């Protein structure tokens, strides 16, 4: 950071010994992991459904993948879409893309066909890797994209023999068969392609080069690709470990947060693998499997959204669980209520855990967390203090002036993890990343909060309209655009309804076109349409037909009025 003068940083008196500045690794994300693999070759990098992979074995597989990517024509700067759950092939491919100089375009495998088409075209991805169970969605939109190679992996390929047999009798039987002449490259065949590539497959990438694209709504709620660099991810790994000095190489992190999410990819995967940790990969989250793995694997670190902890508290199977191995329990992705924190802390203490849950805050525009409750001090309702080399300010959004301690305004931040840009959106990039007179480029989060005199940050809400359900960001305006395009819909409004488990769930209010009957058949017709165009996690749980929708004085749909009505009913 080229600074003219250091911003105010009252939290530096409250870091509990965490250094204010770190020297960041200037290589690529692959090189960061390779460096650790050279140091701990025989340590376990990750466990997947009972099968262990060492750091040395992981690097061999990444390099095999890289040779194959080079063989099929991936060149420096090319985008490769990875639509995978947390499984070994996704890890190998993620770092292999980086090794050949490509950019990993990370997307949710449960995205709708239209969303998949958008993500592929937005990034101009030339190759895609996904699982056999998602093949038909990708094939359906392939002709509308510039995809040359569709690589199909299977969970069974990475299972140990006894587990594989059980999988094929249960989950494997449900997967729709792929035609034998389908224009795809099977995973094992893909790996063989690299045997004819002997050199020139490694491309040197610099700290500031783009490495990853994640997706978010930005400040306007329209889906945009967030371009993140090698430094963004490597700096995050170093910051997370610096704020958790109890971490030791070999410590286990339960990696249940998904790879297409900054929290899952940045904290649960790259932080661990670039710092010598061990990932317990969870391909499909259920509260039961999560609870079982924490105790069976004797995990040292767990990270999740408030929904996950809410579910954990309800599990009968956790009644006699011993959680004494836990060194760190982190919550992010949504606000952790004071009440839920108290309940989780009580639960942890009753199960021999010596630590409390620590809340963090961040945005995908800075990978994930950039602020965390320190180890030595908590304040009720606070999301903690900034990471090393990260500065926060609370400003008046209209004037840009920094506000006094205790006064609410927009949260802006700067540091080594802030994004490079929004892909193909220079105007919104300029609105979100702004250079101030202090010489720093500040990220405007669109979130509201305040800072106290000791530098602790308090999150108070969002300026932008957004629903958070089980940690996923859902933008009502996008869903309304989809609904309004249906030939029976005159006008729609989407809101988040309070839910004890998901925190919020999606509900749609619809005015039908004249002559269309508001009955179950119409509702099912619209829901069926939604399933094709909306990701599973963003699907409305209910549609309510209305003859009119409330309006504001300027004629917009008054979504807050509908929210108030629903909360009154709840």
CATH classification at residue 174: 3.40.50.12780
Q: 358, 386, 414 — which closes off a domain?
A: 358
CB atoms within 10 A of CB 331: 26
In a domain, 413, yes or no: no
The CATH number of residue 522's host domain is: 3.30.300.30
- Residue at 126 is within a domain: yes
Task: Report whether pLDDT(271) > 80.
Answer: yes
178 and 307 fall within a common domain: yes
Q: Is 452 a member of any domain?
A: no
Asked whether residue 95 is domain-assigned, the answer is yes
Residue 156 is assigned to a structural domain of this protein: yes
**Percent of the chain surpassing pLDDT 90:** 68
Are 351 and 497 contained in the same domain? no
Is the pLDDT at 1 greater than 80? The verdict is no
Share above pLDDT 70 across residues of the chain, in percent, rounded to a whole number: 94
**What's residue 524's pLDDT?**
94
Q: Are 354 and 472 in the same domain?
A: no
Residue 173 in this model has a pLDDT that exceeds 70: no
Lowest mean pLDDT among 188-197, 248-257, 411-420, 491-500: 491-500
C-alpha separations of 358 from 76, 127, 289, 406, 470 in Å:
40, 39, 22, 22, 18
For residue 358, the model assigns a pLDDT of 96
* Number of structural domains in the chain: 2
pLDDT tens string 117-161: 999 999 999 999 999 999 999 999 999 999 999 999 999 888 876
Q: What is the per-residue pLDDT across 427-483, written as a single tens digit (0 to 9) for each?
A: 999 999 999 999 999 999 988 899 999 999 998 876 667 788 887 878 887 888 789
Mean pLDDT of the region 333-353: 88
The answer on 480 and 336 residing in a single domain is no
Position 543 scores a pLDDT of 94
Q: Rounded distance, CA 169 to CA 176, Å?
A: 14
The answer to whether residues 366 and 413 touch, using CB atoms and an 8 Å cutoff, is: yes
Indicate the pairing of strand 79-83 with strand 103-106: parallel
pLDDT of 389 reads: 97
Same domain, 164 and 313: yes
| Tokens (6 digits) for 475 | 């933008």
Characterize the bridge pairing of strands 301-304 and 357-362: unpaired
Q: What is the pLDDT of residue 554?
A: 47
Q: Mean pLDDT in the chain? A: 91
Final residue belonging to a domain, choices 303, 326, 358: 358
The pLDDT of residue 50 is 87
What CA–CA distance (Å, rounded) separates 465 from 438? 30
Indicate whether 133 belongs to any domain: yes
The number of beta carbons lying within 10 Å of the beta carbon of residue 496 is 21
Q: Tell me what the mean pLDDT of segment 208-230 comes to.
A: 86
Pairwise CA distance, residues 90 & 255, whole Å: 13
In a domain, 17, yes or no: no
In angstroms, rounded to a whole number, what is the distance separating the alpha carbons of residues 396 and 380? Answer: 25
Domain final residue pick, 358, 393, 412:
358
What three-state secondary structure class fits 426?
Answer: helix
Residue 420 maps to a domain: no
pLDDT mean over 513-535: 92
My answer on whether 348 and 476 are in the same domain is no
Give the three-state DSSP class for 531: helix
Q: Which domain holds residue 73?
A: 29-358
């Amino acid at each position: 950071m080229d600074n003219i003068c250091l911003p105010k940083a009252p939290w530096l008196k409250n870091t509990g010994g965490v250094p204010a500045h770190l020297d960041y690794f200037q290589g690529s994300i692959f090189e960061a992991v390779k460096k650790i693999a050279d140091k701990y070759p025989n340590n376990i990098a990750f466990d997947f459904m009972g099968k262990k992979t060492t750091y040395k074995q992981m690097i061999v597989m990444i390099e095999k993948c890289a040779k194959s990517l080079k063989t099929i024509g991936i060149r420096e700067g090319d985008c490769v879409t990875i639509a995978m759950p947390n499984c070994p092939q996704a890890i190998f491919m993620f770092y292999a893309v980086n090794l050949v100089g490509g950019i990993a375009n990370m997307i949710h495998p449960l995205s709708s066909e239209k969303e998949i088409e958008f993500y592929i075209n937005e990034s101009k991805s030339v190759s895609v890797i996904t699982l056999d169970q998602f093949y038909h969605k990708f094939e359906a939109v392939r002709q509308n994209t510039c995809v040359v190679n569709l690589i199909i992996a299977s969970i069974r390929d990475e299972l140990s023999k006894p587990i594989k047999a059980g999988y094929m009798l249960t989950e494997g039987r449900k997967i729709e068969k792929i035609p034998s002449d389908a224009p795809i490259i099977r995973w094992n065949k893909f790996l063989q392609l690299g045997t004819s590539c002997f050199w020139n497959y490694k491309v040197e990438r610099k700290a500031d080069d783009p490495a990853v694209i994640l997706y978010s709504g930005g400040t306007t709620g329209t889906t945009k690709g967030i371009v993140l660099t090698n430094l963004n991810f490597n700096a995050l790994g170093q910051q997370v470990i610096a704020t958790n000095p109890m971490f030791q190489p070999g410590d286990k992190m339960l990696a249940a947060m998904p790879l297409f999410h900054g929290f899952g990819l940045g904290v649960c995967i790259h932080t661990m693998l670039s710092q010598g940790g061990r990932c317990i990969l969870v391909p499909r989250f259920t509260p039961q499997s999560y609870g079982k793995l924490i105790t069976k694997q004797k995990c040292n670190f767990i990270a999740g959204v408030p929904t996950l902890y809410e579910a954990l508290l309800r599990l009968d199977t956790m009644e006699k669980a011993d959680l004494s191995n836990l060194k760190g329990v982190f919550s992010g992705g949504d606000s952790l209520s004071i009440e839920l924190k108290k309940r989780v802390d009580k639960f942890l203490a009753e199960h021999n855990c010596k630590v409390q849950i620590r809340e963090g805050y961040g945005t995908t525009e800075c990978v994930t967390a950039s602020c965390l409750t320190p180890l030595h001090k908590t304040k009720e309702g606070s999301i903690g203090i900034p990471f090393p080399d990260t500065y926060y300010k609370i400003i008046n959004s209209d004037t840009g002036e920094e506000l006094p301690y205790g006064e609410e305004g927009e949260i802006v931040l700067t540091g080594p993890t802030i994004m490079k840009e929004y892909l193909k959106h220079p105007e919104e990039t300029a609105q979100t990343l702004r250079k101030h007179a202090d010489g720093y480029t500040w990220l405007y989060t669109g979130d509201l909060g305040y800072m106290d005199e000791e530098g602790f940050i308090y999150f108070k809400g969002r300026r932008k309209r957004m629903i958070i359900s089980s940690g996923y960001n859902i933008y009502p305006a996008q869903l309304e655009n989809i609904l309004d395009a249906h030939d029976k819909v005159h006008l729609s409004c989407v809101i988040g309804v309070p839910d004890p488990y998901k925190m919020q769930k999606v509900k749609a209010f619809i005015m039908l076109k004249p002559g269309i009957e508001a009955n179950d058949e119409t509702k099912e017709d619209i829901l069926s349409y939604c399933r094709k165009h909306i990701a599973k996690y963003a699907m409305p749980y209910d549609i309510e037909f209305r003859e009119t929708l409330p309006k504001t004085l300027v004629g917009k749909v008054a979504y807050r009025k509908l929210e108030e009505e629903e909360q009154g009913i709840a």
